[in-house]
Amino acid sequence: MLAVRAAVLVLLLVTPGCARSASASSRDAGVSAAPPPAPGLVCTRDDSFPSVLDVAEASAAAEVELQPGVRELLVVSDSGRNGAALAYRLPSGPARSLLLPLDPSASDDVEGIAWVTAGPRGGGGALYALTSSGAMRRFVPDGRGGLRRDQDAYPIGPPPRACTNLRDVNCGRNYEGLCLRPRSVSARCAGYAAGRKASELDCLVFQGDRLVADPLWEPIRLPRGLVPANALSDCAFGAAEGPARATLLVTTNVFGGGATYVAREPGGALVPLELPGTLNNEAVAVDRTGALLLLGDLDADASPSLRATCTGW
């Protein structure tokens, strides 16, 4: 993450007001022009949503239901924060602090999270959390509005799918994101692990309740002209029962211009969303209403955030 943060710092120093359009960042980073936006998909920024959330170094986000009938956006901090997280009640707050009870067999570098419900109407769900080293953990609601760990960290596969030492960070494929389809959506891949090193999506499959990388399935290689090496920062499917539940999204950090795309399976063709990012996007999610949420990591004690109402999924 040091290279990303250094690049963000440079942009902050040279950019008046600390803000730039995604297209300007893309030009400066040498990213090729994007294809036309998705026809019929229109996203408009929701100015009523906080532009900053009180969570340090946002690294992963997903809609969760830790209490029956209560939808929240869960945002988890980057490494060095020991599983610190924030739950923001959708659609308009309030927010509360949480802590993921991490086991010591892997690092606290949680880079991707995804929520999976047990049934078609929610409830009884589980949170999967992926580290940059390729370690997966699972958490379930504790009945008090928090989470308890019910699966200790395990590698999603042998090297290079996971690092030899799961306590290392930013090693191997250097995973930056995790995206899982609702269990009601049938497909060969249950979801993907987003690798930053080569900007690829590794196919994940369920073995019981454990998620592992499919060794027989080639990763989706995203177009290098739009998502160069070290630019991919997260992926997401829309929340269960929502209009984007079968839609795959990817987002990029400053090296990719802070852009967000709809990704077509299985080839990885990208269709851009016409929406400025947070300068250094680190997490993307789509909630049950179809609203798009982006979180940024500026190596600070609070994180830039953005919500957009979207139609045409």
Number of domains in the chain: 1
DSSP string, 212-273: EE-TTSPPEE--TTTS-TT-EEEEEEPPTTSTTTT-EEEEE-GGGTT-EEEE-TTT--EEE-
Least Cα distance to 178 among 227, 223, 211 occurs for 211
Is 67 in a helix, a strand, or coil?
strand
What pLDDT score was predicted for residue 119?
Answer: 47
What pLDDT score was predicted for residue 40?
Answer: 81
Tokens representing 288 are 């049950």
Kindly report the CATH number assigned to the domain that includes residue 184. 2.120.10
Strands 135-141 and 147-155, by their bridges, are: antiparallel
Give the integer Cα–Cα distance in Å for 229 and 207: 30
Give the integer Cα–Cα distance in Å for 98 and 95: 10
- Residues pairing with 213 in the sheet: 204
Give the integer Cα–Cα distance in Å for 304 and 50: 8
Give the integer Cα–Cα distance in Å for 211 and 119: 18
Identify the domain containing residue 10 by its residue range. 2-311
Measured in whole angstroms, the distance separating CA 213 from the mean position of its chain's CA atoms is: 17
What pLDDT score was predicted for residue 69?
Answer: 93
The torsion region of residue 27 among left (phi > 0), alpha (psi -120 to 50) and beta comes to alpha
What pLDDT score was predicted for residue 38?
Answer: 62
Predicted TM-score of the model (pTM) = 0.88
For the chain, the C-alpha Rg in angstroms (whole number) is 17
- 274-294 core/surface letters (b: 16 or more CB in 10 A; e: else): bbbbbbbbbbbbbbbbbbbbb
pLDDT digits (tens), the chain, 313 positions: 545 554 443 343 333 333 333 333 333 333 344 456 666 899 999 999 999 999 999 999 999 999 999 999 999 999 999 999 999 999 999 999 999 999 999 999 999 999 998 644 445 799 999 999 999 999 999 999 999 999 999 999 999 999 999 999 999 999 999 999 988 888 999 999 999 999 999 999 999 999 999 999 999 999 999 999 999 999 999 999 999 999 999 999 999 999 999 999 999 999 999 988 998 999 999 999 999 999 999 999 999 999 999 999 9
What pLDDT score was predicted for residue 29?
Answer: 32
Q: Is 200 exposed, middle or buried (0-12, 13-18, 19+ CB in 10 A)?
A: buried
